Amino acid sequence: MMKIKPLIGALAFGAMLAAGQAQALTVYTAGPAGLIRQLADDFKKQTGVSVDVFQADTGKVMARLEAEASNPKADVVISASWDSALDLHKRGWLLAYTSPNAAKVPAEYKGPSYVAQGLSALAIAWNTKSGTPRPADWADLARPEFKGLVNMPDPAQSGTALELLSGLQSARGADAWRLFADLKRNDMAIAGANAQAMNPVLQGAKAAVFGAVDYVALENQAKGESIEVIFPASGTVIAGRPMMILKSSRQQQDAKRFIDFVLSDAGQARVAATYLIPARQDVQAKRPVIKDIKSLPVENEAQRAGRQALLERFTTLFGRK
């Protein structure tokens, strides 16, 4: 018996370690990789809870969720597309939760089972050394001076690009399609995800991005790149980046604590440091915020429901099929 007790103790200790490891929170996220690493580190220091991260673009995050539907692994999901939150909520995948720290988040950027981590606006990112005239609005990129020199992120790969496409159609109707046709005739390229659209502009091979994710361009501008971020005079989409807890999570209490932390003063300061607009409007930002940007009207449910047909029409126009 004297020899068995140490063995039992060792087994119990090993089981405790295994249980501790199993309690790590799993977060699937689209967005700045540096931001989620900092949030995960800060959260562990504050709570002792480790965070395992899968970071990719929104399309890959949502595809992974779908692939794991019969055996969900994520606890918290952070997307770059507000539509993904609305879709998962409608399908009953999300846990209803309202963080006490969400009080200062505008009503249009929170719901019964989701809340914005931060916000970004879709902008024109213009290379100031491109030799082209400074654009002030979307239509300027269809001018002859920009022929073959404009990239747009692919709405099939970028949730924010799809939001801009939909927002422009909802606000302008047929005029939006005339603009898209003009851009097609001017040889605007549909250039993959956001980074693929931005990199040639940073390198000087292209002059501008139509629908750049602004925080990426603002960060490059702050680093001294020859980039100016221009919010179009006629209006743009301000996109929320929703956080949500899966109803299937086995770590629901820690998941709620994580949402609370991201919306805390410290968490929102981390968000602001990446040049995103903080979700909480009482937190100081390093860039223009909602009140400084002319935004397009928020779409209704029917307009959002038509996005798949809209995407098909756009991809056909640009020969992406």
User: Residues within the annotated binding site?
Assistant: 215
d(Cα 125, Cα 151) in Å, to the nearest integer? Answer: 10
H runs (alpha helix) in the chain: 4-22, 33-47, 58-67, 82-90, 159-172, 174-185, 194-203, 214-222, 252-262, 265-273, 301-305, 307-317
Pairing of strands 150-152, 208-213: parallel
Contacts of 98 by beta carbon, 8 Å cutoff, 6+ apart: 110, 112, 115
d(Cα 181, Cα 189) in Å, to the nearest integer? Answer: 12
Contacts of 156 by beta carbon, 8 Å cutoff, 6+ apart: 59, 162, 311, 315, 320
Q: Could you say which DSSP state residue 94 is in? A: B
d(Cα 89, Cα 79) in Å, to the nearest integer? Answer: 13
Tokens of 10: 């060792």
Identity of the amino acid at 9:
G
Tokens of 310: 């809209």
Tokens of 74: 């994520």
C-alpha 220: how far from chain center: 18
Buried b vs exposed e over 266-292: b needs ≥16 C-beta within 10 Å?
ebbebbbbbbbbbbbbebebbbebeee
68 sits in which H/E element: none
Binding-site residue numbers for Fe cation are: 215
